[in-house]
A and B are shown apart, each in its own frame.
Chain A
Amino acid sequence: MKQLIKDYLDQGLSRRQLVSGLSAFGMSTVAAKAVAQNLAPLGPGAGQAASPPQAPSAVREIEGNGGKLFVEQLKSAGVEYIFFNPSTGDHPIFDALVDLPEIKIIKGIQEGAVTAMADGYARASGRTGIVVVANIGLPNAMTQMVNTFKDQIPMLVAVASVGQNELGRDQWQEVDHHELMTEPITKWFWQAQSTEAMAETTRRALKFASTPPCGPVFLSLPTNTLEQHAKTQVWERSKFDVPMRIRPDKEDVEKAARMLIEAKNPLLSVGDEITWCRGEKELIELAELLGAPVAGEAGSLGYWSKPFPTRHPLYIGTVLRTMRFPGKPDVLLNLGNRWGENASPGTKLISIRLDPTSLAREAPVDLAMVADLKLAMADLSAAIRSMATASLLKDIANKRAERARAYAAQMQQEREAIAHALTDSTPISMERLGLELEKNLDRDTCYVADVDSGKTMDPLMAFGGGDKQYFGTGPNVLGWGMAAGFGVKLARPDVPVVSVVGDGSFLFSGPQPLWSMARYKAPVTVIVLNNHSYNNERNRIWNGAGRQFEAARDMTCYNGSPDVDFAKTAEAFGVEGETVKEPASLAGAFSRAKAAMVEGRPYLLDIHIKREGLGAVSDWYPPYSIADLRTRKV
């Protein structure tokens, strides 16, 4: 779809062809026309017509070099922060920022950390993360851009690239058409063609990034386009913003409402698009109106938020291929869940998605709608109310909800009983830690998780509604969590932020995010779940019952030897920390972390956690020694 929109904007397609193409992607005619309407100001012919008169504050004439035009356009778009690491070529950007205090710059010391900081900021603020990193470090940024792309988070990543006159001369750090590297993980990529077009190119990038379904865009800015001077317009965001808050088709909503009222055993599957659309309140209202059980994320991958309160009486946990409870649904309503189109034969599937590209992509859908989830759920609730009396709806809902409430309560008790039976082990069990976190974290905490096996703690904690807000990544490209925690704290300075990472995640990102936490006095508690292993990875591998399983040879996943001391690492980066090995020490450690946050300092807890699952006891690894290869002791 992004290619289609690009072709339209590059004047290769007419408006009619655009609408037709969007419809072919599964978008309703109403939605496709809305997109075309919103794109019109930037589409074919837009630049040829005389510009309508604008209020002086909305459209400004700016003269300066390309760096100044870039940041002035960002400023007019309301950008507050640029996440960056330095390079020589982008100096015009930072020269301009000397006299532009409205935009603050946040430095990271590796491109992956810079990108993940911007990503966390974007998830927590709903705004576009702006990243300017070194040209040659682009591949580092790309590792974290995968999380951003898959979870459809708005981000603009820019680099200063080789000057246009130098392109193709095999310069020291030049690779041909480096922007093409980003194609699979961006909505759009572009190389600035001239200083005159700098502001327009920046606007276009911002618009593509923030138009739902959102995602990262990439701009390559040749150094000459940053250094040369031009006079051009910069626009306020309102003049090029594309809200894309599309209401679903009314007739489809009525069909869905009828199906859900008449259903004998409906089930709601919910996903991240609800979170992005800020539709949590509408979801609770719809679920309670229907009395239908709600199933959320599946396992440890594939979701980044928890849009429905996990302690709500209708929340029944993971959405599975076949639900033993509530049994096979006759109507499955999938709301913004990429993995929720999961109906068995005989189940009517209604799917409402923000992203048309993955709607009905893998499974047959009986009734598909592209819409903003918040608006769609509000419309659906209104339609349901219009079709039956309040007392009849209440009777239906009560009957359905009775079973769900009983099941949810029973499972909650069961999980807590299991956890309480496992609280005293050393190393500390994941279950004990989950209980302690639930007890010690404030209810308004932003919980930033970059763990795999650590997600077994989640059912022991309360998320959503008035409880903790959950942030993770769907693809789980590790190395995100600490930096993202920094970004979340920047976006939400007045709530506690806890970043929970595995030792694997820490080692992927390295300690670089701690540097930014220390420099900018970010009061974030970092918890390292240190089990010296890629624990879930080993479990998945051994689950295939292959030779590693048979011979108990963990060829790949053991991270001990050396056993990294993460508290000492933190200390080296100016962040206080401590190692926690005993369950009885947890409460005191949390207390000290909280005190540090109150004082405005980051704090790290290196918590030694019990490995779980197949091969858990194994600390074997292929025992190679380079020292032993030597024939000379040099």
Chain B
Amino acid sequence: MSITSARGVAFASAVAVIALASQAQAQQNNNPLPPGDGRDIVSVACSQCHYLGTIAKIRDGAAGWRVYVSNMVLRGAQLTPAEVDKVVNYLATNLGPGINLPPPRPVALPDGSGKQLVETRCALCHDLERVAAVKRKKQDWTPIVANMAAWGAPVTADEAKTITNYLAANFGD
């Protein structure tokens, strides 16, 4: 359930790649972002340096999106604090957990307590292929799940514990 592997700022580093600018422009002309208040700022400010398509494929809560956007400001995005708030609100509203997700690839998870939670909560933000990507020790799964909950995954503390135990049991190292 490496939601944080889908998090972060892929587009961050792309700031460096000037050659992407013309492609970003082309993509802006075919804007993949859903309509909503703030879309114009995202389209203009973010497309200076990177594709918009990746944004459209990520789902995250407000806290998670703020991490992305803050990192972008450090990398040169021209967004004032008020605009950062507006951008985060747009992203969390229109690309939040479970909103307009593309059809997932079928992934058969092993049975066990927590399977349903993983299928219904984790898959709100990312494909379940990510869950099965790597085996980890329980002490490594714990902060990953906690981090996702902090960033916006809709899970209670008990549910997070159940998910962690399920992952450690079935995808443990």
Contacts and interface: CB of A to CB of B under 8 A. Distances in A.
Interface of A: 298-302, 317-318, 320-325, 339, 410-411, 414-415, 417-419, 421-422, 431, 452-453, 455-456, 459-460, 535-537, 539-540, 542-545, 549-554, 612-620
A550 B127 contact: yes
6 contacts: A299-B14, A411-B73, A540-B16, A540-B17, A550-B129, A551-B133
A539 to B, nearest CB: 4
B9 A552 contact: no
Contacts of B48: 320-322
B78 A320 contact: yes
A540 to B, nearest CB: 5
B51 A544 contact: yes
Nearest to B143: A617
Contacts of A553: 133
Interface string B1-29: 01011111111111111100100010000
Contacts of A615: 5-6, 8, 10
B34 interface: no
Given A539-B8, A620-B133, A453 B13 contact: yes
- In order of increasing CB-CB distance, the 7 nearest A-B pairs are A299-B16, A614-B10, A318-B76, A613-B8, A536-B13, A620-B134, A552-B130
A413 B133 CA distance: 40
Contact of A456 (B44, B49, B75): B75
Contact of B134 (A418, A460, A616, A618): A618
Contacts of A545: 51, 53-54, 57
Nearest to B53: A545
B15 A549 contact: no
Contact of A536 (B16, B76, B78, B80): B16
A452 B13 contact: yes
Contacts of B127: 550-551
Interface residues of B, number: 48
A411 B75 CA distance: 12
Given A317-B76, A551-B129, A299 B8 contact: no
Contact of B17 (A299, A417, A418, A617): A299
A61 to B, nearest CB: 53
Interface string B62-83: 0000000011011110111100
Contacts of B21: 321
B16 A301 contact: yes
Contact of B18 (A299, A325, A455, A535): A299
A612 B73 contact: no
Contacts of A551: 127, 129-130, 133
A425 to B, nearest CB: 10
B45 interface: yes
A553 B73 CA distance: 27
Given A324-B79, A539-B12, 9 more contacts: A301-B17, A318-B76, A414-B84, A418-B70, A418-B73, A540-B10, A545-B53, A552-B6, A615-B5
Given A300-B16, A323-B78, A550-B105, A542 B4 contact: no
B76 A619 contact: no
Interface in B119-173: 126-127, 129-130, 133-134, 136, 144, 147
B5 A540 contact: no
Contacts of B147: 617
Contacts of A618: 2, 5, 133-134
A233 to B, nearest CB: 47
Contacts of B14: 299, 539-540, 543
Contacts of B130: 551-552
B134 A414 contact: no
